[in-house]
Amino acid sequence: MSNGTPYFLPAEKAQGLANYPHARFAPTTAHRTLYVSGTSSRRGDGTWDGVTEHADGTWTLDIRVQTAAVLRNIESIIHGATNGRGGLQNIVDATVFLIDLPQNYAGMNEEWNKVWPDRANAPARTTIGVKELPNPRLLVEIKCTAVVEL
């Protein structure tokens, strides 16, 4: 099941810096829309991917590892909610929330582009720099909408 039809502005117009279309038409027949809540890199045991805890109580955060984990967590949500019929390929729209946009945007894009190496297959996307997320260990959170065949 495809995530719909991409639309791209002509090449002489402004193009995205990562792999995503300017817009995407969602499929319309025999499909359900799944709205995935903001998802982080948190694991089931309450720890986070992309967080290295140090003995002195500080931590080191890795945007690439966190982004990859967020996308895996989203895939698990979609897969579970659709009884295995859906996955990341069904996302039609995503909103990325980033702490320290200038510092973390490139690393997040690197992981995004690994999942969607062809922008024609990528969801529409907005990236927003935010002051904070629900836990200070988090650099990225993504919410999205997927359309899955029934």
Longest dimension (CA), the chain: 56
H or E element, residue 92 = strand 91-99
Residue 20 located in a structural domain: no
Over residues 2-9, mean pLDDT: 73
Residue 17 located in a structural domain: no
pLDDT given for residue 19 in this prediction: 84
How many domains in the chain?
1
Q: What is the pLDDT of residues 11-54, one digit of tens each?
A: 887 777 788 876 666 666 677 888 888 999 999 888 999 999 99
Residue 60 located in a structural domain: yes
CATH number reported for the structural domain that contains residue 70 in this entry: 3.30.1330.40
Residue 6 located in a structural domain: no
Range of the domain at 67: 29-149
Q: Which amino acid, 84? A: G
CA distance 133 to 99: 7
Phi first, then psi: give them for residue 54, nearest 5 degrees.
-110, 160
Over residues 111-126, mean pLDDT: 95
Residue 15 located in a structural domain: no
Residue 107 located in a structural domain: yes
pLDDT given for residue 29 in this prediction: 67
H or E element, residue 63 = helix 63-81
pLDDT given for residue 18 in this prediction: 81
Residue 67 located in a structural domain: yes
Residue 81 located in a structural domain: yes
**Residue 48 DSSP one-character state:** B
